[in-house]
C-alpha cells in the first residue's frame, strides 16, 4: 500500500460518509445525540480538501499523521479523538516506509486498536467502534491481509455491537436498553474498512 | 424545524461572531483562534488561577456566556453537541494562564473527557501550564449512586463554575480553587424532564420522539434517552418526581442550606419554571431545608428543547460566600 | 401544546408565588394584594419618583422581572395577555409612592390604556398621587408613520423602562423623569418576525397558524396578525427586512449611536439571536451607526412563541448614561 | 325588572358564556389575541359566585354596581373596563329604584352605551362591542322595551361588525383585512342581550 492508494481510499471513504451521513446520525439518535454523521462528514470533508496538497512521493506516514491532525481538530466530540488517535498510531507504525507491506499493516492496525482502547478507556465487547477495529486487527494478525476476509470481519465487528450492552459513550446510560441498536461509530468504522478493502482489491 | 439561520454548517461561527460584536467590552477571541474566547478582565495579569470551561454549543447561554468577572476566564466552543477539539482548549488555557495554574470544568461525556484530557496533556507538555480538571456529574437520572462516575453533567455545571470563578476571582490559589470546586461538584445534584425535542440545524431531525402527551424523565441534555417515558403529569407531580430522586440520592437534612436552580431547556416558559420552582420551595420547606439563593431561567439549554431540570447544591458557609459573590458576564450577571 | 402547569386557571398566581419565593430578598407582594409586586429597595422612602409597569403576563421576564434597583419599583401583573385591572395598579402606585409622583409605563393596547387610565384617575382622586403615563409605541410594523399613535408596544418597552428607572434611581424629579422617558420612547423602534405560535394554557390552541416553511413579519406580541406572511428566509435576509423598516422609519444617520436589543420571543435559541445580531451589527456598521450597548436574549417573550424582534434606540449622551447605569432585578442585572 | 330577574339573567348569561367560551376565544384569534372567551368566563364566573350573597330586597342598582366592580377587577384586558363601565352606568341610572320600569331601562342602556364609547374612545361603526350596545340602546329609545325586537337588534349589531373595518382594539392593526370577521366582544354582548331578553320574556 502506497500514498496513492491511501489517497484513493480516503477519497472513497469521504464519499461513502457523505452519502451515509444521515443514516449515521440516525443511528446515533437511538444511542446518543444524533450527530455522528455530521461529525464524520465534517472531518472527512476536511481530509478530502487536504488531499490535493499531498504528493505521490510523500510517505504514507506523513499523510496518516495529517489525517489524524485534521480529524482531531475538526471532528471534536468522542469520535474526533478516537479516529484521530487511530490514524496517529497507524502513522507511527508506518514511519520511514514508502510502501506499506503486510507486516507493517498488521502492526498498524493492532496499534490503532490499542490506541482507541487507551484513549476511550474502552475494551472490546463494550459496543463501540473499537469492536470493529479490534476484530479487524485480530483477524489481520491471525490470517494476514486478506482483504475479503478483513471486510467480512469488519462487518462482523459492526454487527456484533447490535447485541451488546453499550458501556462507553452516550449510549452507556441505557444499560440493557442499548441492546438491539448498532453502534454508529462501529458503522462508520465499517465504512472505513470497507472502502479500504475496495481500494486494495482494486489495486491487486 | 424552523430556524433563523443562514448556512447550517457555520451557525456556530456566526453565533460567535455575533456574540463578540455584541459584547466587545467584555469578551474577545484568542488571537488566531476560531473557537477560543476569553473574558477581557481575565487578561489583566493579576496572578489569578485561570478557569477554562467549554463543551459543545447548543446550550447557550452555557458555556460561552459564562466568561467574565467572577466566573470563568476562557471558553472553548465546540460544534453543536460536540466537544471542542483540544486546540481551542489549549488556546484558551494559554490565554488565561497567569502562571498559577488553570482549572478545567466540563461535563462527564466521553468526547469532553478525551478532548480536554488531550488539551491538558498539551498544556502541560508544550506550555508548562499546570492544569487540574473537574468533571461535572450532577445528573442523578443518568446512573445509580453506585455508578456515580458514569453520571452526565447537566445544568449543575453552572453552580460548579460559579464557585470556581468566585474562588479564583478573590485570589484563592490553585489547590484551594480545586478543593472548593470539587466540594461544589460533590454537593450538586440535578434531575430533568423532557417534553419536546430540539433539532440540529444540519439534520433538521427531532432529537427524540415523544407522544402528544408524553414526557421523558431523565432525558439527556442532548436528547439522549432518559430513564422513563410516561404521560405528561401536572407540574407539581413532575416536580415531586425530580425532587424525590434528588433527595433520595443525597444526604440533605432538616436545617441544611441549598442553592436551587430551576433550569429551562429552551422553549419552556419562565412561567412554567416558576410554577416548578414554587413546588420545589414547598417540598424543601416541608423538609425544613433552607433555600439560600435561587436561580430560575434558561441557564443551560438544549437549543429549543422543551422541559426543565431542577438542581440542588448543598451549601455551607464557604460555598454560600462563593455563590453570593458578584459576577459579570455577557449573558449573566448578579450582585452580591 | 405541552406545558408544565397544574391548573390552567391559576398559572399566573402560581407563577407569582414561585417568583416571590425565589427572590424574597428582592421583591415582595403589596400587602393584601394578589397581583401588585414591588421591589424591596423601592420602599426605602428616599423620595424617588416611583416607576410602575405592568401588562398582561406571558411575556416573562417582562414585566415582573424588571422591578429592582435602577429599573421599575412596582408592577401590576395581569392574566395571560390581559391587562391587569385598575386595582393592582393602584396598589402598586400607593406602595411605591414617596410623595414625588409616579410614572406609569405600558404598551399601547386598548386594555392597558383603559385600566392604567382608570388607575391613574383613582390614584389621583383617592390617594392624591400625581401620576404621569408613558405609552410605548415602538412596533413600526403595526402602523405607518403617519398613524404612529396606533402603534403597539413591544420589546422596546425594556429600554424605556431602563431609562425611566435609571433616571428616577439617581434622583431626577418627576418632570425630568418624564422628559427623559418620553425621549427614550420617541427614540425607540422595533420590528419583529414570528415563526411558530404559542398557546394559552386555558385553550391549548395555537395563537396563529403558519405553514411548515412560513414566517410572518410584524406579528404581534400576543399572536395578533402581522403585516406579511411569506416563506421563511435566511437569517440575514429576515434581519435586513426588519432593519430596513426600522431605518426607513427613523432618522438615524452616520455618526449616531444606538442601543440594540435582539429579543427572542420564547423558543428561538440564543444561537439564532446572535446570528441575527451579527447581521444587525453588519448593517449598522455599513451605515456608520455606532452600537453603544447591546442586549441579546429573551427580554420580552410571548410564552413559547418562535421568532424575534430587533429594537434600536437612538442614544445621545444623556440616554447613554441611563442605559449604562447599573440595574439589579430578579430576572435582569447589569453592571455599569 | 327586579333583582330576582337580574339574578336569573346573570346566571343564564354566565352559563351561555361558559358554553361558548371557546368560540369567543376563537373569534378573538382572528382579530386579536385569542382570549376573549377566557376573559369573559373568568369575569362572569366571579359574578355567578357572588349572586348567592345578593338578597331579593337589595336594589338592582346595588347588584349592577357589584357586577361592575367584579368585572373591572376580574376581567382586565379591554373587555373588563368596557363591560365594567357599562354596568356602572346602568347602576347609576337605576339608583333608588326597587323595580326598573321601561323608562329607566331605556336610560340605563343609553348611558351604558355612552359609557363604553367614552371609556374606549370608540364610536359606533368601528367594529367593537359598542356596535351591539348602541344599536340596542337606540332601538330601546325608539321602540321601547320590546324584548323580541331588542334581541333582534342586538343580533343585527353583532352581525354588522362582520362588514366593518375594525378601528379600536387589537384588530385595528388589520385595517381592511379585518373585514369578514365578527368582533368577539360584539358576540359576547349579543349573548348578554339574548339572555336578558330570554329572562324578561319568561317573566312576562
Ligand atoms: N469511550 C469510548 N470508547 C470508544 N468509543 C467510544 C467512546 N465513546 C464514544 N465512542 C464512539 O463514538 C461514537 C459516537 O461518536 P459521535 O457521535 O461522533 O460523538 P459524540 O458522542 O460526542 O456525539 C459512538 O458510537 C462510539 O462508537
Ligand atoms: N377601544 C375599544 N372600544 C370599544 N371596544 C373595544 C375597544 N378595544 C377593544 N374592544 C372590545 O374588546 C374586545 C376584546 O376583548 P378581550 O379579548 O377580552 O380583551 P383584549 O383585547 O385585551 O385581549 C374586542 O372584541 C372589542 O369588542
Ligand atoms: Mg453523537
Ligand atoms: Mg455529539
Ligand atoms: Mg388579551
Ligand atoms: Mg383578547
Model pLDDT for residues B221-232, shown as the tens digit of each residue: 898 888 899 999
Pocket of ligand 1 (CB under 6 A): A 28, 32-33, 35-36, 39, 77-79, 82, 120-122, 128-130, 168-170, 183-186; B 82-83, 110-111
- Same domain for C170 and C246, yes or no, is no
Q: Provide the 3-class DSSP secondary structure of residue A70.
A: helix
- Over residues C320-331, mean pLDDT: 98
pLDDT digits (tens, 9 = 90+) for C73-105: 999 999 999 999 999 999 999 999 999 999 999
Domain assignment present for C335? no
CB distance B78 to B104 below 8 Å:
no
What is the band of D111 on the pLDDT scale with cuts at 50, 70, 90? Answer: very high
Please report, for the domain that includes residue C241, its CATH number. Answer: 3.30.1180.20
Q: Is this complex's ipTM strictly greater than 0.90?
A: yes
- Residue D73 CB-half CA count within 13 A: 16
CB contact C5 to B (< 8 Å): yes
C247 within a domain of the structure (yes/no): yes
- Mark yes or no for CB contact D33/C78 under 8 Å: no
Please tell me which of the candidates A80, A81, A173 has its beta carbon nearest to residue B224: A173
pLDDT tens profile B173-186: 999 999 999 999 99
If asked whether residues B283 and B298 sit together in one domain, one would say: yes
At C46, is the pLDDT very low, low, confident or very high (cuts 50, 70, 90)?
A: confident
pLDDT for res B1: 80
Rounded to the nearest integer, the mean pLDDT of chain C is: 96
Q: Are C318 and C260 in contact (CB under 8 A)?
A: no
> C284 burial class (0-12, 13-18, 19+ CB within 10 angstroms)?
buried
Kindly state whether residues B208 and B104 are assigned to the same domain: no
Counted across chains B and C, CB pairs separated by less than 8 A come out at 186
Residue D203 pLDDT: 79
pLDDT, tens digit (0-9, with 9 covering 90-100), for C9-38: 999 999 999 999 999 999 999 999 889 999
Last residue of a domain, one of B142, B162, B187: B187
Answer yes or no: is C148 within a domain. yes
- Rounded to 10 deg, the angle between the D36-50 and D21-31 helix axes is 140
C-alpha cell at B286: 416541608
Nearest beta carbon to residue C203 from set D32, D38, D79:
D38
Asked if B30 and B95 sit in the same domain, the reply is: yes
> In whole angstroms, what is the distance from residue B41 CA to residue B29 CA?
13
Residue D116: pLDDT above 90?
A: yes
Q: Which ligand approaches the C-alpha of residue A34 most closely?
A: 3
Same domain (yes/no): C267, C171 = no
CB proximity list for B34: less than 8 A, separation 6 or greater:
B13, B16, B88
Which CATH number is B102's domain given? 3.40.50.10440
The neighbour count for residue D65, using CB atoms within 10 Å, is 18
* Whether residues C84 and C147 fall in one domain: yes
pLDDT 10s digits, B232-275: 999 999 999 999 999 999 999 999 999 999 999 999 999 999 99
pLDDT digits (tens, 9 = 90+) for C153-209: 999 999 999 999 999 999 999 999 999 999 999 999 999 999 999 999 998 988 888
Mean pLDDT for back-to-back runs of 10 residues, chain B (336 residues): 95 98 98 94 88 98 98 98 97 97 97 97 94 98 93 97 98 98 98 96 90 93 89 98 97 97 98 98 98 98 98 98 98 97
Q: What is the band of C227 on the pLDDT scale with cuts at 50, 70, 90? A: confident
pLDDT for B241: 97
Report which of D197, D168, D184, D201 is spatially closest to residue D17, judged by C-alpha positions.
D184
Question: Could you report the per-residue pLDDT of C131-160, keeping only the tens digit for each?
Answer: 999 999 999 999 999 999 999 999 999 999
Distance CA B140, CA B151 (A): 7
In percent, the amount of chain A with pLDDT more than 90 equals 94
**Mean pLDDT over residues A106-128, rounded?**
97
Residues of A in CB contact (< 8 Å) with B are: 22, 25-26, 29-35, 37-39, 42, 72-82, 119-120, 168-170, 172-174, 177
d(CA B257, CA C22): 14
Instruction: Name the residue at shortest CA distance from atom 12 of ligand 1.
Output: A79
Task: Please tell me the predicted confidence (pLDDT) of residue B330.
Answer: 98
Beta carbons of C269 and B269 less than 8 Å apart: no
- Sheet of B27-29, strand order: B27-29, B36-39, B74-80, B50-57, B102-107, B131-136
**Shortest CA distance to A13 belongs to which of A33, A39, A41, A53?**
A41
Residue D15 burial (CB < 10 Å; 0-12/13-18/19+)? middle
**pLDDT greater than 90 at residue C325:** yes
Comparing C-alpha atoms, which of B152, B185, B155, B162 is closest to residue B51? B162
Q: Is the pLDDT of residue D173 over 90?
A: no
Tens of pLDDT, residue by residue over A118-168, are: 999 999 999 999 999 999 999 999 999 999 999 999 999 999 999 999 999
Q: Are C39 and C69 in contact (CB under 8 A)?
A: yes
Distance from CA of B121 to the nearest CA of C (A): 31
Is the pLDDT at A84 greater than 80? The verdict is yes
Q: Mean pLDDT, chain D, as a whole number?
A: 96
Q: A-chain residues within 8 Å CB-CB of B223?
A: 29, 33-34
Is residue C288 domain-resident?
A: yes
Q: Give the residue numbers spanning the domain of C257.
A: 189-327
Say whether C1 sits in a helix, a strand or coil.
coil
Residue A13 has pLDDT above 90, yes or no: yes
Residue C21 to residue B286: CA distance in whole angstroms: 14
The last residue of one of the domains, among B164, B187, B210, is B187
Q: Are residues B117 and B59 in the same domain?
A: yes
B11 located within any domain: no
* Smallest-distance ligand from the CA of A166: 1
Structural domains of chain A sorted by starting position, each given as residue range(s) with its CATH number in brackets? 3-203 (1.25.40.340)
User: Does residue B182 sit in the same domain as residue B197?
Assistant: no
> C120, C152, C187 — which closes off a domain?
C187
Q: Which residues of C are known catalytic residues?
A: 59, 222
* Claim to verify: residue B119 and residue B66 sit in the same structural domain: yes
Residue D204 has pLDDT above 80, yes or no: no
The pLDDT of residue B218:
94
Q: Domain tally for chain B?
A: 2
Are B167 and B101 within one domain? Answer: yes
User: Is the same domain home to B146 and B53?
Assistant: yes
Amino acid at each position: 500500500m502506497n500514498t496513492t492508494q491511501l489517497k484513493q481510499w480516503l477519497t472513497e471513504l469521504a464519499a461513502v460518509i457523505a452519502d451515509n451521513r444521515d443514516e449515521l446520525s440516525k443511528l446515533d439518535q437511538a444511542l446518543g445525540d444524533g450527530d455522528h454523521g455530521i461529525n464524520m462528514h465534517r472531518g472527512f470533508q476536511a481530509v478530502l480538501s487536504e488531499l490535493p496538497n499531498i504528493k505521490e512521493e510523500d510517505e504514507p506516514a506523513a499523510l496518516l499523521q495529517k489525517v489524524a491532525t485534521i480529524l482531531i481538530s475538526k471532528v471534536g466530540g468522542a469520535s474526533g479523538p478516537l479516529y484521530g488517535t487511530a490514524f496517529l498510531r497507524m502513522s507511527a507504525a508506518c514511519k520511514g516506509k514508502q510502501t506499506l507491506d503486510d507486516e507493517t499493516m498488521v502492526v498498524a492496525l493492532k496499534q490503532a486498536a490499542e490506541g482507541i482502547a487507551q484513549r476511550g478507556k474502552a475494551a472490546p465487547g463494550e459496543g463501540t467502534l473499537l469492536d470493529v477495529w479490534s476484530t479487524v486487527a485480530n483477524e489481520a494478525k491471525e490470517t494476514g491481509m486478506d482483504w475479503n476476509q478483513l471486510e467480512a470481519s469488519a462487518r462482523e465487528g459492526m454487527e456484533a455491537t447490535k447485541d451488546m450492552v453499550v458501556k462507553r459513550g452516550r449510549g452507556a446510560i441505557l444499560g440493557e436498553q442499548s441492546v438491539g441498536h448498532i453502534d454508529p461509530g462501529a458503522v462508520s468504522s465499517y465504512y472505513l474498512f470497507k472502502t479500504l478493502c475496495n481500494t486494495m482489491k482494486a489495486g491487486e | 424545524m424552523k430556524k433563523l439561520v443562514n448556512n447550517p454548517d457555520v451557525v456556530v461561527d456566526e453565533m460567535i461572531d455575533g456574540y463578540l460584536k455584541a459584547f466587545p467590552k467584555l469578551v474577545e477571541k484568542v488571537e488566531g483562534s476560531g473557537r477560543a474566547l476569553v473574558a477581557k478582565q481575565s487578561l489583566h495579569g493579576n496572578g489569578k488561577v485561570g478557569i477554562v470551561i467549554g463543551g459543545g454549543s447548543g446550550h447557550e447561554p452555557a458555556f460561552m456566556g459564562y466568561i467574565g468577572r467572577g466566573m470563568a476566564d476562557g471558553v472553548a466552543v465546540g460544534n453543536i453537541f460536540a466537544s471542542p477539539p483540544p486546540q481551542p482548549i489549549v488556546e484558551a488555557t494559554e490565554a488565561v494562564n497567569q502562571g498559577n495554574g488553570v482549572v478545567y470544568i466540563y461535563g462527564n461525556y466521553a468526547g469532553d473527557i478525551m478532548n480536554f484530557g488531550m488539551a491538558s496533556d498539551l498544556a502541560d507538555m508544550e506550555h508548562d501550564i499546570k492544569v487540574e480538571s473537574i468533571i461535572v456529574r450532577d445528573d442523578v437520572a443518568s446512573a445509580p449512586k453506585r455508578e456515580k462516575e458514569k453520571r452526565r453533567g447537566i445544568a449543575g455545571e453552572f453552580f460548579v463554575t460559579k464557585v470556581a470563578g468566585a474562588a479564583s476571582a478573590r485570589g484563592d490559589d490553585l489547590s484551594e480553587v480545586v478543593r472548593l470546586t470539587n466540594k461544589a461538584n460533590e454537593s450538586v445534584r440535578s434531575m430533568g424532564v423532557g417534553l419536546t425535542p430540539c433539532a440540529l440545524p444540519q439534520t433538521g431531525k427531532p432529537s427524540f420522539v415523544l407522544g402528544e402527551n408524553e414526557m421523558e424523565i431523565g432525558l439527556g441534555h442532548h436528547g439522549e434517552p432518559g430513564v422513563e417515558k410516561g404521560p405528561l403529569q401536572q407540574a407539581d407531580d413532575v416536580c415531586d418526581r425530580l425532587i424525590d430522586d434528588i433527595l433520595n440520592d443525597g444526604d440533605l437534612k432538616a436545617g441544611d442550606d441549598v442553592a436551587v436552580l430551576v433550569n429551562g431547556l429552551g422553549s419552556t416558559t419562565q412561567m412554567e419554571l416558576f410554577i416548578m420552582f414554587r413546588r420545589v420551595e414547598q417540598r424543601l420547606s416541608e423538609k425544613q431545608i433552607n433555600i439560600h439563593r435561587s436561580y430560575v431561567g434558561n441557564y443551560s439549554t438544549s437549543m429549543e428543547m422543551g422541559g426543565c431540570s431542577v438542581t440542588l447544591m448543598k451549601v455551607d458557609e464557604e460555598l454560600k460566600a462563593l455563590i453570593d459573590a458578584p459576577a459579570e458576564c455577557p449573558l449573566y450577571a448578579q450582585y452580591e
